[in-house]
């Protein structure tokens, strides 16, 4: 009986040369440390978006008005990234109203909502809730229903503002959420109409003029029904989005005292109460 050798057969010089050439080609194709592809910034964690998150990055910051002008009322807007808020300090500084983030998409609720929403109310403020819109994750109607059911409802108690729709740059991807101008207008209409059917109130729409122009085609569709909250970190509100002849709320800075995001209501305190009462 013959015994098979356990040694590996010798390869021909031609085969060895071909293997070495293939390995060298693969090595040259791989990026070196110096030639590695540029790294892109990671998107923030879902749920961490807040009112005005993209304003500085897209519109910049100019010297702003530190105090409300005659006939205006100071307010703030807060979200989970502020955690527990010192409402007593804000009240004593002249802040009389607040908007609190309640929800985002149909999957996130602000973990600090109770402290912020109830705390502002208990100190004496007029307050309302807002929803950060993500039109690429679900329909406007679905998000309006989720918002209204998780803190965004309204009652005529003289202390509760109508819900606010925060529609602005997408912090997680494409600025306009992959929608056409017409698609974005349709999504917003779906949200505000559903919200009105659930609460009896038109939502306040928060946006920035440049985003509105880029992502809705500067639509005039909502100016006659939905109050405007405009974002601009400067000494004036500048040009408003189409359809609105005036603004209701102006978020004028993200670097204010106690809470960074400060706002002027375009009216005296009795007008804030009037908006609360519908």
Q: Which of 59, 74, 77, 261 is catalytic?
A: 77
Indicate if the alpha-carbon torsion angle 184, 174, 48, 230 is positive or negative.
negative
pLDDT of residue 41: 58
Lowest mean pLDDT, pick from 29-33, 189-193, 272-276: 29-33
Q: What mean pLDDT comes out for the span 95-99?
A: 98
| Average pLDDT for 157-169 | 97
The mean predicted confidence, pLDDT, of the chain is 88
The reported pLDDT for the residue numbered 108 is 97
Contact indicator for 190, 140 with CB cutoff of 8 Å:
yes
Q: What is the pLDDT of residues 204-254, one digit of tens each?
A: 999 999 999 999 999 999 999 999 999 999 999 999 999 999 999 999 999
DSSP bridge partners of 172: none
Local confidence band at 15 (pLDDT 50, 70, 90 cut-offs): very low
Q: Round to whole Å and give the CA distance between 265 and 250.
A: 6
Q: Is 263 a catalytic residue?
A: no
Q: Which positions ≥6 away from 173 have C-beta within 8 Å? A: 43, 136
Catalytic site residue from 74, 104, 112, 168: 168
Q: pTM of the entire structure?
A: 0.85
Q: What is the pLDDT of residues 27-81, one digit of tens each?
A: 444 443 333 333 345 788 999 999 999 999 999 999 887 778 889 999 999 999 9
Torsion angle of the four alpha carbons 142, 144, 147, 150, in this order, in degrees rounded to the nearest 10: -70
Top CATH class, 74-257:
alpha beta
**Would residue 168 show up in a list of annotated catalytic residues for this protein?**
yes
**Candidate list 74, 166, 226, 263, residue with the active-site label:** 166
Q: Is 111 a catalytic residue?
A: no
């Amino acid at each position: 009986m013959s015994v098979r050798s356990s040694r590996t057969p010798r390869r021909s010089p031609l085969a060895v040369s071909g293997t070495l050439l293939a390995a060298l080609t693969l090595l040259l194709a791989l990026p070196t440390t110096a030639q590695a592809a540029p790294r892109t910034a990671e998107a923030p964690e879902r749920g961490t978006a807040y009112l005005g998150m993209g304003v500085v990055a897209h519109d910049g910051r100019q010297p702003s008005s530190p105090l409300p002008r005659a006939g205006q009322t100071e307010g703030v807007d807060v979200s989970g990234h502020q955690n527990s808020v010192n409402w007593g300090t804000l009240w004593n500084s002249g802040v009389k109203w607040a908007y609190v983030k309640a929800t985002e998409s149909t999957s996130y609720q602000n973990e600090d909502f109770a402290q912020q929403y109830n705390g502002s109310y208990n100190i004496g403020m007029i307050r309302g809730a807002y929803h950060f819109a993500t039109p690429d994750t679900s329909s406007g109607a679905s998000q309006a229903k989720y918002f209204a059911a998780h803190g965004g409802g309204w009652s005529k108690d003289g202390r509760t503002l109508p819900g606010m729709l925060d529609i602005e740059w997408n912090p997680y991807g494409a600025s306009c959420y992959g929608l056409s101008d017409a698609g974005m207008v349709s999504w917003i209409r779906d949200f505000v109409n559903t919200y009105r059917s659930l609460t009896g109130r038109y939502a306040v729409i928060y946006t920035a003029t440049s985003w509105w122009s880029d992502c809705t085609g500067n639509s005039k569709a909502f100016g006659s029904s939905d109050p405007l909250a405009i974002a601009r970190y400067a000494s004036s509100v500048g040009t408003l989005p189409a359809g609105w002849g005036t603004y209701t709320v102006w978020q004028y800075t993200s670097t204010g005292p106690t809470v960074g995001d400060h706002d002027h209501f375009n009216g005296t305190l009795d007008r804030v109460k009037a908006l609360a009462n519908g």
